[in-house]
Chain A
Amino acid sequence: MKDIKQLSVNAIHNGTVIDHIPAQNLFKVITILGLDKINSKITFGTNLESQRMGRKAIIKIEDKFFEKDEINRIALVAPLAKLNIIREYEVVEKMLVEVPEEISGIVKCMNPKCVTNNEKVTPRFKVVDKKNVSLKCHYCEKITDQEHMEYL
């Protein structure tokens, strides 16, 4: 049954399927992975029904394979995302995202007096809580919690 649902967006030959993205974060995932800047054939579906998460989105990218570090960048916006690696129309590998120890260049520091909000400095954080993702700024040392996360 599951497979049939996934087919609501066309199957791909070789590439990656990212499933279980919260529908409201689809475009954040696209931006974070830079999918708006690559030449691969990409199809996506959104507002698909999901028993686990209400409304989900799914992205299929032809001829694109991700490194683990690269894919973990979406952990903040799609912590439950699942990746299927496809070769010759077959799922050859599955991957889950993992919240990394450190992140940089994805989220803004919530402290308006932070140097990252006042000079051209890429924000960097240590992940201090992986479950309720909360981030400690490498520069001003203040905590940015999920509620205040703003994406770059």
Chain B
Amino acid sequence: MKNRSLVSIDDLSKEEILKVLDLAEGFEKNPSQQILNGKVVATLFFEPSTRTRLSFESAVNRLGGRIIGFSEASSTSVSKGESLKDTILTVANYSDLIVMRHPIEGSARYASEVSGVPIINAGDGANQHPTQTLLDLYSIRKTQGKLDNLKIVMVGDLKYGRTVHSLLMAMSRFNTSFTFISPKELQMPLEYKMYLDKIGLKFKETSDLAENIKDADIVYMTRVQRERFSDPLEYEKVKNVYVLRNGMLQDTKPNMKVLHPLPRVNEIHTDVDDNPKAYYFPQALNGVYTRMAIMALILGLK
């Protein structure tokens, strides 16, 4: 991975994914390694995403690196109409690595083609967010002790949710059995179901939450957003149907963990938070170790 950009989870082989996870494990055991000493990481957030930015910046700081950048585009030359190419070429002069979030889809791939330093895609519109996928994989492996042969239940907005699409693609390399639970309007797109058929992985599609999480190893929750519905009445009908409550966890497997990319709205009731099966806050912490590992590999420091 040395000197390579990370734009899409598909850019990584299965071996490379496992290498990132192994290294992240090392950083979890010993998070204060000063290996980024003397390095400058640019965090260019053309749209705000406080959570992702802080996670990256925490990872850089813990490793002894320095950070330059901006947290929204409005205060920069971008708002004066500067092209993405010019911004990237300029910032590449000042940094060893660029972490970039941008609302335009494909912007990270393009940036990686014009930049002299590697780019890490921290989200390009609805397209890709590979470090989220890697931290999800890390969380799954850490809680289950393995990635192979697991049963994963995905809940909520499966149509537009890029995190579930990337996670599906990544986990499909590990003989996963999937269950998709969503309102009809937000079902998993056909292309992903066709892909699973093609590679011979089983999946189940249903709209009943409580019944279908009983044999799950991982329940991956996502937000159902009002703006995804053309008919506001439809949203009102489903908004409380896909809510996970503590009572539902009673008959689930002891190893089961609930994941969520955060921020949540109401899809996980707060009464779940104290259940040991709730894993969404530790999941966010895993993001720091995973991002440490990715940066260390790309900069050739590990």
- Which residues from chain A sit less than 8 Å from chain B, CB to CB? 109, 111, 113-116, 118-121, 137-143
Given A139-B110, A141-B8, A113–B104 Cβ distance below 8 Å? yes
Q: Is the CB of B84 within 8 A of A140?
A: no
Q: Is the CB of B83 within 8 A of A137?
A: no
Q: Is the CB of A113 within 8 A of B109?
A: no
Which residue of A is nearest B126, CB measured? A113
CB of B128 within 8 A of chain A?
Answer: yes
Inside 8 A of A116's CB, which chain B residues have their CB?
106
**Top 6 A-B pairs, shortest CB-CB distance:** A139-B106, A140-B105, A140-B106, A115-B106, A115-B107, A115-B110
Q: Residue B127 contacts which of A118, A140, A143 (CB distance < 8 angstroms)?
A: A140
Q: How far is the CB of B105 from chain A (nearest CB, A)?
A: 4
Which residue of A is nearest B128, CB measured? A141
Which residue of A is nearest B111, CB measured? A115
Inside 8 A of B83's CB, which chain A residues have their CB?
119-120
Interface residues of B in 115-158 (CB under 8 A from A): 124-128
Inside 8 A of B107's CB, which chain A residues have their CB?
115, 118-119, 139
Interface string of B89-108 (1 = CB under 8 A from A): 00000000000000111110
* 21 pairs of residues in contact across A and B, judged by CB atoms under 8 Å: A113-B104, A113-B126, A114-B105, A114-B106, A115-B84, A115-B105, A115-B106, A116-B106, A118-B104, A119-B84, A119-B85, A119-B107, A120-B83, A121-B106, A137-B106, A138-B106, A140-B105, A140-B106, A141-B105, A141-B128, A142-B105
Inside 8 A of A121's CB, which chain B residues have their CB?
106, 110
Q: How far is the CB of B6 from chain A (nearest CB, A)?
A: 15
Q: How far is the CB of B149 from chain A (nearest CB, A)?
A: 28
Given A119-B83, A120-B83, A141-B127, A111–B110 Cβ distance below 8 Å? no
Q: Could you list 10 further interchain pairs (A-B, Cβ under 8 angstroms) beyond the known A113-B125, A114-B106, A115-B106? A: A113-B103, A113-B126, A118-B104, A119-B85, A119-B107, A121-B106, A137-B106, A138-B109, A140-B106, A142-B105
Q: How far is the CB of A119 from chain B (nearest CB, A)?
A: 5
Q: How far is the CB of A145 from chain B (nearest CB, A)?
A: 12
Q: Is the CB of B104 within 8 A of A119?
A: yes
Which residue of B is nearest A123, CB measured? B106
Q: How far is the CB of A141 from chain B (nearest CB, A)?
A: 6
Inside 8 A of A120's CB, which chain B residues have their CB?
83, 85
Inside 8 A of A111's CB, which chain B residues have their CB?
105
Q: Residue A119 contacts which of B110, B125, B128 (CB distance < 8 angstroms)?
A: B110
Q: How far is the CB of A56 from chain B (nearest CB, A)?
A: 35
Distance of A137 Cα from B8 Cα, bound (Å): 13
Give the interface centre of B85, B105, B110, B191 by most chain A CB atoms within 10 Å: B105
Inside 8 A of B109's CB, which chain A residues have their CB?
115, 138-139
Give the interface centre of B85, B124, B127 by most chain A CB atoms within 10 Å: B127
Distance of A121 Cα from B107 Cα, bound (Å): 10
Which residue of B is nearest A139, CB measured? B106
Inside 8 A of A143's CB, which chain B residues have their CB?
191
Distance of A125 Cα from B263 Cα, bound (Å): 34
Inside 8 A of B105's CB, which chain A residues have their CB?
111, 113-115, 139-142
Distance of A114 Cα from B8 Cα, bound (Å): 15
Q: How far is the CB of A117 from chain B (nearest CB, A)?
A: 9
Distance of A142 Cα from B104 Cα, bound (Å): 13
Interface string of B178-192 (1 = CB under 8 A from A): 000000000000010
Q: Residue B104 contacts which of A115, A138, A141 (CB distance < 8 angstroms)?
A: A115
Which residue of B is nearest A112, CB measured? B105
Distance of A111 Cα from B84 Cα, bound (Å): 18
Interface residues of B in 280-298 (CB under 8 A from A): none
Which residue of B is nearest A138, CB measured? B109
Q: How far is the CB of A114 from chain B (nearest CB, A)?
A: 5
Which residue of A is nearest B107, CB measured? A115
Distance of A147 Cα from B173 Cα, bound (Å): 33
Inside 8 A of A114's CB, which chain B residues have their CB?
104-106
Distance of A109 Cα from B8 Cα, bound (Å): 19
Q: How far is the CB of B262 from chain A (nearest CB, A)?
A: 24
Which residue of B is nearest A128, CB measured? B191
